[in-house]
């Protein structure tokens, strides 16, 4: 499960960078960062619960 969350983090980060690089896709950067933060919080919560 944590491997899947790590993959999602990489995907959201790539989408955020793509949105920042391509002019006019600022919304994609915002959406990517929001999903990145939510996924990171879920992963952190699952890892903490696992210990």
- In this prediction the pTM is 0.77
Q: Does the structure show a pLDDT above 80 at 51?
A: no
- The mean of the pLDDT values for the chain is 87
Instruction: Return the domain boundaries, the chain.
Output: 2-50
d(CA 41, CA 21): 26
Q: Does the structure show a pLDDT above 80 at 50?
A: no
For the residues of 1-51, what is the DSSP string, one character each? -HHHHHHHHHHHHHHHHHHHHSTT-HHHHHHHHHHHHHHHHHHHHHHHHH-
- Please report the pLDDT score of residue 49 as a whole number: 67
């Amino acid at each position: 499960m944590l491997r899947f969350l790590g993959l999602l983090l990489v995907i959201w980060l790539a989408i955020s960078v793509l949105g920042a690089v391509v002019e006019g896709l600022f919304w994609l950067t915002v959406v990517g960062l929001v999903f990145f933060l939510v996924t990171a919080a879920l992963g952190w919560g699952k890892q903490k619960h696992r210990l």
